[in-house]
Each structure stands twice: as structure tokens, then as C-alpha cells.
Amino acid sequence: MKVRWSKLLLRALLCTCVISGASNALAQTVKIGWLSSLTGPLSSAAIAENQGVQLAVEEINKSGGILGRQIELLTRDTAGDPTKAVNFAQQLAFSDKVQFVIGPVNSGEALATTPILARAGVPNIVIGALDELVDATKYPRAFRAINTNLQWISTANNYATGTLKKTKVAIIADTSGYGTASARSAEQLLDKAGIKPVYVVLVDANKTDLSDEMSKAKAAGADVVMPWSAATGLLGRLLNARGDMGWNVPVVGHPALMAAQIRKLLNKPEYWDNTFAAGYQSTTYGADGKLPERTQALVDKVRGKLGGGEIDVLFWWVALGYDTVKIIEYAAKTAGSFDPAAIQKVLENTKDYRGVYTSYSWSPTERNGFPDANMAMNAASTFKDGSFKPAPR
């Protein structure tokens, strides 16, 4: 019996050592909070971005971490709910005491969390496109990695009016805050170009048929239809209405027009033709049919993770997720510490930091890091591995 007790004592001592060792290792981690709407509406983008985030964390940890510390990723599923996003942001910033926060994914959630993270002084990589989300004065440590909504709209507008030479524009947006604001911005930008849309309408995102709206656009003489909505159901129904009517008007607008889910909702595959959306140079095939080198390298890595099959999500989501972690790595390594003020200083003096999704530049007065030059127009029906051929010029 004595022998057994001594064995138990030895084991207990060993356990204590292991636990204290583990807690020391944990203390040496760098904590990154990841606010991701992995479930709930509009989860497709979050799931794809999560692939990129996970891959980058895995790579960095394998190569020794950041400044010798392993990354501890604290993923919080907000389910697309701003209330949950707020609770998680507070928890990450004040209880978990993370050094960085990525996200949230949806602009509606980010509107609520950005002020909280700013109050906590936590560097925040913003991946929502709504223009109001960043402000160098109010939220000095929030740096946007994604393009702005205005960049999407102006790229699409320029293509419709400049390249396609269309002047009779119909704008169809959904009734969400995003759709309403985007329709207004699109109208204002067109107005600056001297074009007054012939038809503007807001539609409930769950409306089951858009024949009425498309018939009205046609009757108004529209020569291009520009939808502003991220709701794939609505966009699918819009393209179905156009196809069923036999009206071959070009549809030019939001990137969601190119999502793989849309393809599945179409009555006929050819209904995706003559559909163009704002995209990116990094996920556009060149004249030689190849993607930019960095994008291709990431495609190969992700394909390996997915078991070698076709990538059926918009690949820029993955690239954006990957870059957010890489930006954090770059900032901490350049600053030589995880001090938030030092991180802010590095990021606001960043010029052309090369990621996969784009090259990022921020300044003391500018928190939008995505350059206009990296925007592109894509042809939706050319979807291959989440990337596209350029729209015809």
C-alpha cells in the first residue's frame, strides 16, 4: 500500500509540473479574437474567411509564432447578430484581454463593436465594407483591410457607364440598411457623372418573385440593371426574372452576384451570362489564364486542405481572412512588441504591405487600406476556383 501511495504522490507532482508548464506556455501566447458569423444568415463569407484565418494561424505557429509566441485564436461565433457581437467584443477585450481583434464579418455587427474595441484600445482589423466603420480620430486603432462599399459601387458604376456606355440605369436594392444606403450612394455617384437613373426601387430581400420590378425597369427603358444587395436569394430571383423574360440586359453590381450559390439558384446556367460584378485584381485570371502568383500559391494550399476538389467559395474571402492574420504578424514583428500604441504607429505608417488579397497602405489620417487600383470588374459566369476572368472591355 505504501508503494502505491508514493506512486500517487509522484504522479500528482508530475501533473502539477505539467500543468504549471502548460500555463506558462499559455502565458506566452498572443491572443487574437476572431469575431466571425460562422452560423446564421450571411455565414458563407465568414466560413470562407475562417479558412484563411485558420491557415495563416497554423502557418505562423508552425514557423515559431510571432516574436516567439504562439498565436491563441479565440473564435467567437456571432451568428450575424449585433447583440452577440457586442457581448463577445466586450468579453474578448475586457475578460480575455486579447491583443488584437479581427472582424466582425458583417458591417451591421461592426457598427456596434468598433466603438467598444476603440474604448478598450485594442487594435482591430476591420473587414466590413460600410464606409462609416473606420475613422482615424474616433477609432484610431481600427484599420480596414477590405475595400469600402463606395469602391465597389464606383467600380461597378464606372464599368456600366464608362466601359459599357450605358446611360439608362435601373437600381434595384434590398430594404436592409446596407441595401438602402448603397442605393443612395449609387444614385449620388451616378448623379455626379450626370446620369439620373431611370428606375430605382427597394425590394424586400425575401420577395419571392422579381418579375414586376424587372418589367418596370424594362418599361422605363433601362439599358443596364444594377442590383445592390448581398442576399443571394434576391439576386438569384432577379437573374431568373431577367432570363425568364428573355431580356438580355446587362446586370452589373454587388460581388455577391458572382457567388457560387447564385449559380445553383438559376433556372438555366446561361442566366449567369452578361452579369458583371465588382471584384479584385488578385482574384482575376490574366490573359494567360493564370492567377497572380501569390493567389495561386494560396489556392494550392487551400485546395490541399479541402482534399483537392474545386473551390466553390469566392476566393477573395479566403485571401482576406488569411491576410488579416498576416497583417497582425507584420505589425507586431515591425513594432517589436505587442504594445497597442506601437502597433498603431506601425500600421498607420504602412505603405504597400503585400498581402494575397491586395497591397495595404494606411496613414495617420487614412484607415482604409485597400487601393482603388486593385479593384477589377469580373464576368460572373467565368467562376473557377472562386476567381474570375475580367469583364469584357
Chain residues that interact with another protein, rule: CB under 8 A: 39-44, 174-175, 180, 201-204, 206-209, 211-212, 215, 232-233, 236, 240, 243-244, 246, 259, 261, 264-265, 267-268
Cα–Cα dist 88/75, whole Å: 10
Nearer to another protein by Cβ, of 233 and 292: the residue is 233
What is the rounded (10 degree) CA torsion for 352, 355, 357, 359?
0
Provide the minimum distance between the beta carbon of 310 and another protein in the complex, in angstroms, as a whole number. Answer: 17
Report in angstroms how near the CB of residue 234 gets to another protein at its nearest.
Answer: 9
Indicate the residue among 111 and 260 with the shorter CB distance to another protein.
260
Residue number, 216 or 389, with CB nearest to another protein? 216
289: left (phi over 0), alpha (psi -120 to 50) or beta: left
- DSSP per residue over 146-180, as a string? SPPHHHHHHHHHHIIIIIS----EEEEEESSHHHH
Q: How far is CA 374 from CA 78, 278, 280, in A?
A: 30, 11, 6
Q: DSSP assignment of 99-110, as one string?
A: SEEE--SSHHHH
Per the CB < 8 A criterion, the answer to whether 333 and 339 are in contact is no
Q: In angstroms, what is the minimal distance from the CB of 303 to another protein?
A: 21
Nearer to another protein, 212 or 310 (CB): 212
C-alpha cell belonging to residue 149 = 462599399
Closest distance between another protein and the C-beta of residue 97, in Å? 30
Closer to another protein at the Cβ: 60 or 105?
105
Q: Cα separation of 202 and 168, whole Å?
A: 18
- Nearest to another protein of 137, 208 (CB atom): 208
The least CB distance from residue 240 to another protein, in Å, is: 8
The bridge status of strand 169-174 relative to strand 199-203 is parallel
Q: How many CB atoms lie within 10 A of CB 307?
A: 6
Q: In the bound complex, what is the minimum distance in angstroms from residue 218's beta carbon to another protein?
A: 13
Record the cell numbers describing residue 123, joined without a space. 487594435
CB of 391 to another protein, least distance (A): 24
Alpha-carbon torsion 87, 90, 94, 96, what sign? positive
Find the angle CA(270)-CA(276)-CA(279) to the nearest 5 degrees: 130
* Closest C-alpha to 374, from 260, 275, 284: 284
Q: Which is nearer to another protein, 181 or 265 (CB)?
A: 265
Nearer to another protein, 53 or 203 (CB): 203
Cross-strand bridge partners of residue 75: 34
Report, in Å, the least distance between residue 109 CB and another protein.
Answer: 15
Give the nearest distance from C-beta 179 to another protein in angstroms: 9
Closer CB to another protein, residue 230 or residue 377? 230
